[in-house]
Amino acid sequence: MQARRAARELAFILFSQFDKKITNYSKKDLEDIILKSVRVLTGNATDELKLALGSLIDMKNRINDYEAEHEINLNRPIESSNVAVPLPMTSDMTNRIEEMIDIAEKAMLALEIAEFTTLDSQNEVKEYAIKIAEYFQKHHDDVDNEIKKYARNWDFDRLVKMDKDILRIAIVELLYMKEAPMKVVVDEALELAKKYSTDDSFSFINGILAKVIVENGLK
């Protein structure tokens, strides 16, 4: 995982933890929230890996039971070991495996973010996430006005908070930080939307960011 990608995800988690006006947070507050966020990430990753492990054990038991109860093995002598038998359908197993792969990938991502954040050599992850938050503190009214301007026919206060936070991070990077390529910022925002928000969020966020880019003459 790239450091900046980890930082954006960490910034998103950081934004989700704000429970008071953004300008009331000091840098120490932001660092403390990040530490708590990393602990939450690692805890969630552990829980998800346990869930994946439980599903794997359940699948293994189902396969063993199917094999033991197959007529080929039921007709064998009791003291004989079971022989492998063909599975009649693969769809059920495939769906369950895909679910476990998804769980494992999310858990691995969470652990990678935690590793990036805690290693001394990767302090840039924490610093970049905090930098995003600090830029938003300075320009929060302008950033939110950008969202309001292009989210026509939407009540800003009723927008999904996850969508607003993803947009806030991307707009801060696009308009104020200007350190990452525009395409990377947009692609990473859409990845966050796919991972954390609703089915409609992808197109909504993409549309808003496209307008921000065009109207502000970004290239």
Whole-angstrom distance, CA of residue 185 vs CA of residue 190? 9
Spatial CB neighbours of 22, under 8 Å, sequence gap ≥ 6:
133, 136, 137, 140
Cβ neighbours, 10 Å, residue 144: 16
Task: Give which of 29, 31, 25 is closest to 10, Cα–Cα.
Answer: 31
Cβ neighbours, 10 Å, residue 23: 10
Quick one: CA dihedral 21, 110, 41, 98, positive or negative? positive
Number of domains making up the chain: 1
What is the span of the domain harbouring residue 174?
3-215
Q: How far is CA 159 from the centre of its chain?
A: 19
Distances from the Cα of 23 to the Cα of 135, 167, 193, angstroms: 10, 18, 25
- Supply the pLDDT for residue 125: 80
Alpha helices per DSSP H over the chain = 3-16, 27-69, 71-74, 91-118, 123-150, 161-172, 182-196, 201-215
Query: One digit per residue, pLDDT tens: the chain, 219 residues?
Result: 477 887 888 888 888 888 778 888 888 988 888 878 777 777 777 777 777 778 778 878 888 888 888 888 888 888 888 888 887 666 667 777 777 777 777 777 666 666 665 554 457 788 899 999 999 999 999 999 999 999 888 888 888 899 999 999 999 999 999 999 999 999 999 999 988 888 888 999 999 999 999 999 887
Domain harbouring 173, CATH code? 1.10.940.10
